[in-house]
Amino acid sequence: MDPLKLENQLCFPLYAAARGVVKLYTPLLDKIGLTYTQYVTMMLLWEHRQLSVKQLGERLYLDSGTLTPLLKKLEAQGLVTRRRASEDERSLIVTLTDAGGALRERALGIPQALGQCIQLSNGEAGTLYTLLYKLLGQM
């Protein structure tokens, strides 16, 4: 069993499947003008309305090098506003706009549409979910 053989690697199908699912999302997200990373960012803002860049980064496992340009694009689209916190000017607060909130309605069909591309039983999906979060917890 050669550990340097691609088919014996656990991380490779993880890497490939992650790119694959993002590709499945792309045509759906195109309709509402978002990329996948922008989509998961908006998901957090739909839930919390207002988060700092640091909080977004912690939850998305992304740093400001990725988030800063992404948030500027969302701001340019009118979906969010960016302003420094008055209590602590180091912190940049991202807030959902009305247009950003309204976009959620147009995203409602996406999870189900994607679910149709992925044929896993509830048990399999649950197992996968658990194992992936276990992995994430080790990083």
**Residues in contact with its own copies by the rule CB under 8 A:** 2-6, 9-25, 36, 40, 43-44, 46-47, 59-61, 104, 107-108, 110-112, 114, 117-120, 124-125, 127-129, 131-136, 138-139
With CB under 7 A as the contact rule, which of the stretches 21-29, 95-103, 115-123, 124-132 interacts with DNA?
A: 21-29
Tokens of 50: 């207002």
- Per CB under 7 A, 61 contacts DNA: yes
Tokens of 112: 């189900």
| Token pair 């790119």 in the structure block, residue | 19
Cβ 106 to its own copies shortest distance, Å: 11
| Contact indicator for 36, 70 with CB cutoff of 8 Å | no
How far, in Å, CA of 110 to CA of 115, rounded? 8
Q: Which does 57 bind (CB under 5 to 8 A by kind): DNA, its own copies, none?
A: DNA
Q: Nearest Cα to 41, choosing from 106, 94, 98, 85? A: 94
Q: Which does 106 bind (CB under 5 to 8 A by kind): DNA, its own copies, none?
A: none
